Amino acid sequence: MYQETAAFEHYIRDHGLRMTNARRAVLEEIFSHHEHIDADRLHAAMRGKGLDVSRATVYRNLDLLADCGLVRKYRLDRHRVLYEHMHAGMEHDHMVCRECGRVVEFVNRDLRAQQEEICRAHGFDPDDLTVQVVGCCITCKKARAARGSAPPSGP
Amino acid sequence: MYQETAAFEHYIRDHGLRMTNARRAVLEEIFSHHEHIDADRLHAAMRGKGLDVSRATVYRNLDLLADCGLVRKYRLDRHRVLYEHMHAGMEHDHMVCRECGRVVEFVNRDLRAQQEEICRAHGFDPDDLTVQVVGCCITCKKARAARGSAPPSGP
DNA sequence: TTTCTTATTGAGACAGCGTCTCAATTCGCC
DNA sequence: GGCGAATTGAGACGCTGTCTCAATAAGAAA
């Protein structure tokens, strides 16, 4: 947490911004959740702890944290935007199950390297590389198979 | 167009649905645009041609077309969801420039193969593999460099 | 420490994209 | 042609995120 606070304060100062209680609170909150969370849930969690920060401020500061690279913003679909703090160097991607909505993380260095290579080839300077896989997870696949092979059974 | 109509009608019948004028119209419209387009723009284009189809119907049928695999739904960010028809077998991905908003397509078979491999390893059955790169395109990069090397000049 | 400037905040109105509702219409099987 | 069900149209609605603007507070300067 020390590192992140320091990095954030550094960024804040460098950009002529000001460090506030609300900013510290959002930073601490997002770093206390070790998994994806959406802005409104985070906001609710903060209020639940008695932290009186407005919704707009949570949104504003999550975006600020995303800008300075401490937080990653990840859009699943129209109704789900997740934020997660960067756990040093662990760039990962997501598989989203269409049926149960479960999000599975995976890390693959080769995939990243290849994406960077493609960007280079197109003279494109990437800020964010995202691989998003939408499909059906192993659990739902099994459930579906079970239903399929034993439908509303015989006479 | 024959193939797509046939495929669509086949899907429609297989799922106990009905083929309607609105469905045919949406199918024809999306296949007449050989690039990404959003639902509202498509709707406007249809009305412009005198096709009297409601917004809700366009949304509904674009989703239906996406379900049956004839159309791909691609989300850039909160405010941009693009649809594009599948041009047989040409699975591609997108790079979006953060500055000018330009969308560059690229195709890379290795990248796809690798994603599929990862899915297999996780027992995940992919419906849609998306690689989304957000960054800065070569044009904007040059523009930025030009500004950077010759800022509001000397005293 | 007090003062002063200005970034930030809070509350809620607002915006945009989709979705939902439900009566009216249309499909397509008989 | 007639019937039952799927589909449509029009607009209200919902949700996430942004904007507004007065009030507040950070932090530099005195």
Write out pLDDT tens, residues A91-105.
Answer: 778 888 777 777 787
Domain-terminating residue out of B43, B68, B90: B90
Cβ B21 to strand C below 7 Å: yes
Domain-terminating residue out of B59, B90, B121: B90
Q: What chain A residue is nearest to B124 in terms of C-alpha separation?
A: A137
pLDDT band, very low/low/confident/very high, at A21 (cuts 50, 70, 90): very high
Same domain, residue pair A72 and A103: no
A6 with A43, same domain? yes
The reported pLDDT for the residue numbered B62 is 96
The integer distance in angstroms from the CA atom of B17 to the C1' atom of C10 is 50
Kindly state whether residues B155 and B82 are assigned to the same domain.
no
Better-predicted residue by pLDDT, B113 or A22: A22
Tell me the count of A-B CB pairs closer than 8 A.
Answer: 115
State whether B73 and B133 are in the same domain: no
Q: Which 3 state secondary structure label does DSSP give A147?
A: helix
Same domain, A17 and A76: yes
B69 and B79 share a domain?
A: yes
Q: How many domains does chain A have?
A: 2
Give the CATH number, domain containing residue B55.
1.10.10.10
Query: Which nucleotide C1' is nearest A17 CA?
Result: C7
Cβ of A22 near strand C (distance < 7 A): yes
- Please give chain B's pLDDT, 155 residues, in tens: 677 899 999 999 999 999 999 999 999 999 999 888 999 999 999 999 999 999 999 999 999 999 888 998 887 776 778 898 887 556 778 887 777 777 787 887 788 888 888 888 888 888 777 787 877 888 877 776 775 544 333 22
The more confidently predicted of residues A41 and B101 is A41
Predicted pLDDT at A94: 80
Please give the residue range of the domain that contains residue B153: 91-155
Residue A117 vs residue A24, higher pLDDT: A24
Does one domain contain both A63 and A9? yes
How does B7-40 read in b/e, with b if 16+ C-beta sit within 10 Å? ebeebbeeeeeeeeebbebbbebbbeeeebbebe
Note whether A36 and A103 are within 8 A (CB). Answer: yes
CA pair distance A131, A110, nearest whole angstrom: 12
